Amino acid sequence: MPAAPHDRHAPLTPQDVLALCRERDIKAIDFRFMDFPGVWQHFTIPVSKLDEGVFDEGLGFDGSSIRGWQAINESDMLLVPDPTTAFVDPFTDLATLNLICNVQDPITREDYTRDPRNVARKAANYLKSTGVADTCFIGPEAEFFIFDDIRFDQSPNCGFYYIDSSEAEWNRGADERPNLGHKIRHKEGYFPCPPADQLMNVRNAMMQTMIDCGMEVEAQHHEVATAGQCEIDLKYDELVTMADKMCMYKYIVKMVAHKYGKTATFMPKPLFSDNGSGMHTHFSFWKNGQPLFAGNSYAGLSDMALYAVGGVLKHAAAILAFTNPTTNSYKRLVPGFEAPVNLAYSQRNRSAGIRIPMYSPSPKAKRVEFRCPDSSCNPYLAFSAVLMAAIDGVQNKIDPGEPMDKDIYDLSPEELSEVPGTPGSLQEALTALTKDHEFLLRGDVFTEDVINTWIEYKLKHEVKPMALRPHPYEFCLYYDI
């Protein structure tokens, strides 16, 4: 059942949503919202309980049970559905309409500062208030893996993971009865035709489901790594809308994979010795329907675009606390490989942290590609952090320095030492965020509470637990000491 089209120029109203429910014989309404770390949450009501008042008054829930949110003594919160986000769920047996929600305090009716979608909405509004631009378009390229089997566990006396994929190189000698031999060698997944690419039908199903849910897909393909690395690209959209779409994107990818008896993950670096999954994030500023990043400077950029690059490069270490927010993110961002660990910019060099795509001469296609992020991020917070750094660059005319058009990996040690690098760990990124976050506080977009809660949550629940546990490879290195 296809969804109602999501048209930015003709947003759905509460009356439209109720009419859609009648037209599609909807039986249930599912309310979606993003928790603080970045995982979609939901609950469902019968369609008979939905009326226009719900869009104003919201529905109550327990905020103390959501990660990183309210204390137990102030747990009551409101979900207020946004009618413009309605889409028919393509997976439920019962006809269900999904609505993405904003979170409010039930007493003051103020938008909740720790609601990631609220941060993104404030970031978009702050851009308009500055006069710099009225729209930030975002175009993410999210990569992910589709596996056939995944097992993992951690206990006091055991820790392991086991991944399997029928197209993986390590299964060339497997007794599959029959083994048909079409396996993708390490780093050769970009992009052979089927039968080596065994996931064409799965990605097509993902692509069509996204289209049915109102998203505009530009391409789908296998990615570089063996064992099912994939990418599906969406057409750029306004910041908040694109963050909404990334939530839908991850839901669709995981659910379609599940329907095919497979499992999808957006973990940045699940495989040793092959490429990790990134989320190269393209962005541009527009005003009154006109692009602002095209000009006569380097790579066809405007001075504004170069200043935006300067802002992102200046604040990159702090930004990565949001765009690369897992300990696993830094298994991908390792110097000496193909990952974008060098905080430089270039018109074609993919080893630079920022690339200026040169595919089209059209001013409307001129944008900046920030290559560091990965799709383990909370898209609302990640896109907002990039936007705020870019605004700071424009407002303060931050010089990005000279472009780096050489192959960065062929530079001498002396030359390379002059190129700043990304943080080496999540803890380093969080330390950078502690020292450099004033630019995020402008316009009350991020708050000190949001910044401090993010840092404390990540340290307590991710950095420190990882530091306490022995790694399996440590036994290989040290058991016989």
- Which residues are known to be catalytic? 62, 141, 143, 223, 231, 280, 350, 369, 371
What is the DSSP track for 163-179?
EE-TTBGGGTT---SS-
Asked whether the beta carbons of 279 and 143 are under 8 A apart, the reply is yes
- The secondary structure of residue 321, as a DSSP letter, is H
CA dihedral (387, 391, 392, 397) in degrees, to 10, reads 140
Distance of CA 367 to the CA centre of its chain: 18
Dist CA 70 CA 116 (whole Å) = 14
CA distances from 19 to 10, 26, 215, 398 (A): 15, 10, 21, 50
Tokens of 401: 């320095």
Distance of CA 148 to the CA centre of its chain: 23
Asked whether the beta carbons of 30 and 80 are under 8 A apart, the reply is no
- Which H helix or E strand runs over 145? strand 135-147
**Of 349, 207, 1, 53, which is closest to residue 341 (Cα–Cα)?**
349
Which residue is associated with the tokens 């700071």?
A: 392
Which residue is associated with the tokens 């009350």?
A: 444
Asked whether the beta carbons of 229 and 270 are under 8 A apart, the reply is no
- Which H helix or E strand runs over 464? helix 464-468
Dist CA 465 CA 130 (whole Å) = 41
- The secondary structure of residue 444, as a DSSP letter, is G
Dist CA 188 CA 266 (whole Å) = 20
At residue 170, what are phi and psi to the nearest 5 degrees? -70, -5
CA distances from 256 to 149, 208, 210, 234, 288 (A): 15, 10, 10, 17, 39
Classify strands 263-265 and 352-355 as parallel, antiparallel or unpaired.
unpaired
- The secondary structure of residue 222, as a DSSP letter, is E
Residue 162 neighbours by CB distance under 10 Å? 9
